[in-house]
Structure 1
Amino acid sequence: MEDKKSWNSNDLWEEELEILKSIINKTELIETTKWGGIVYIVNNKNVIGIGGFKNFFTIWFFNGVFLKDELNVLVNANEGVTKALRQWRFTSKEEINEKQILAYIKEAITNEKEGKSIKPAKKSRIVCDFLDTELDADKELANAFEKFTSSKQNEFLEYIETAKQEKTKLARFEKIKPMILNNTGLNNKYR
């Protein structure tokens, strides 16, 4: 049986997280586990998650950017990188206010049902003259390459383009050519 990863600091906040769970259980959200953490969903969409860290425990709202945040409690955990996710951090169980938390969660559920979310920006196609030349010379390879999504195509393009030396580009191309022909993404083993 595979050993599932679990959030590494939940044990520091076991009682507090159980209190949050009891509050969340008063909503229609369904508990699941994603990325080793406790996540709550509605209509198969991530709404909130809870977890413990070294110095605090938190509820995170996957699309928290759309919440009114009248209490001014939400923080962006990674300013400049995180677009939509917001955290409500706590350092003791005394800070837990069921009525306030339920209001935020219910607003998050409503927002999710209304489809409020930030869609990831489409990345433009990476320019890689080396791979483009190879694709132009091999119709079968070009056809196989076109079957990939644009993000998977970009993974291949970036893999070749980031090589500094021509011999490295060639070696990388020889590695990915059978992957492309077999419809195997560059990073499939990590997914």
Structure 2
Amino acid sequence: MAVKSVQEYIETHPIWEKELESLRAIMQNTELEECIKWGAPVYALKGKNVAGIAAFKNHCALWFFNGALLKENTILLHNAQEGKTKALRQIRFEKGDKIEPEILQKYVLEAIQIQREGKEIKPVPSKELVVPSELQAAFKEDKNLETSFQQLTKGKQREYADYISQAKRETTKQSRLEKIKPMIKNGEGLHDKYKNC
């Protein structure tokens, strides 16, 4: 079930409730707009993602979407997936860690300034889109499906292609295909329901 509000997100993570409330208070003390994207709290400036907060099994985190561009405030930043993640950086908090608003506020303000200046790390163009055979076969049966697919952005096309390709069993591939057909025809992306900001 997708959460509809930041308060609901916090309540669904009772182990991290205190920490998430503290991080939220810091974010609410800025000009950023609070919303839910990808099922977690995100803070945006004029529709552009600046930061987010999230709870995980062993830690909670304050995310910066262009954190790699921070120059003045960097000591607490971590790359969540070294070698994979280019722009995102996070500050992690484990149980018992003290959340210090006066320190974190500096990171947030620098991230806002970077966004205000329009700086960002452009995604590296990924490899050519490979449409799985199951989807190609569906296109042959239904030309409207193929037309709708071609009208999607490259990112949405890749989401659907990967969704089918990553299934290991043929039955899973077929059930996924049936699930996404109406979504493709409606011009939706696979993950659109998580982006309600």
Q: Answer whether TM exceeds 0.5 for this pair.
A: yes
The answer to whether the Cα contact below 8 Å between 2:144 and 2:185 also exists between their aligned partners in 1 is: no
Identify which of 72, 75, 78 aligns with 2:75: 72
Please identify, of 8-17 and 22-31, the stretch whose mean Cα deviation from structure 2 is larger: 8-17
Match of 1:108 in 2: 111
Unmatched 5+ stretches in structure 1: 163-167
1:31 & 1:73 partners in 2: Cα distance? 23
For residue 58 of structure 1, the aligned residue among 61, 65, 68 is 61
- Whole-Å separation in 1 of the counterparts to 2:19 and 2:145: 55
Change (3 A) 1:31 1:128: closer
Q: Cα RMSD over matched residues?
A: 4.4
Matched residues in 2 for 1:63 and 1:27: separation?
A: 17
Partner of 1:21: 24
Q: 1:9 to 1:78 in 2, by over 3 A?
A: farther
Match status 1:88 vs 2:113: no
Deviation at 1:34, TM superposition (A): 1.6
CA distance in 2, matches of 1:94, 1:118: 31
Distance change >3 Å, CA 140–CA 90, structure 1 → 2 = closer
Contact 2:80 2:90 in 1 (8 A): yes
Partners of 1:9 and 1:51 within 8 A in 2: no
Q: Is the 1:126–1:157 contact (alpha carbons within 8 Å) kept by the matching residues of 2?
A: yes
> Following superposition of structure 1 onto structure 2, how do residues 142-153 of structure 1 map, counting pairs within 5 Å?
147-151=151-155
The amino acid that maps onto 1:16 is E
TM-score by length of 2: 0.64
Residue-by-residue CA offset, 1:123-162 (whole Å, 9 max, x unaligned) = 3354899x99xx9xxx999877754544556678789999
Distance 1:75 1:15, change over 3 A: same
Alignment match of 1:43 (pick from 46, 55, 60): 46
Residue 157 to residue 116, structure 1, CA distance change in 2 (3 Å): same
Aligned length: 182
Percent identity of the aligned residues? 40
Mark the structure with the bigger radius of gyration.
1
The separation in 2 between residues aligned to 1:185 and 1:106, in whole angstroms, is 37
102-111 vs 70-79, which moves further: 70-79
Contact 1:12 1:54 in 2 (8 A): no
Change (3 A) 1:150 1:16: closer
- State the AA in 2 paired with 1:68: K
Q: Which runs of 5+ in 2 are unaligned?
A: none
Shift of residue 94, structure 1, vs aligned partner: 2.4
Larger relative contact order (CA 8 Å, sep ≥ 6): 2
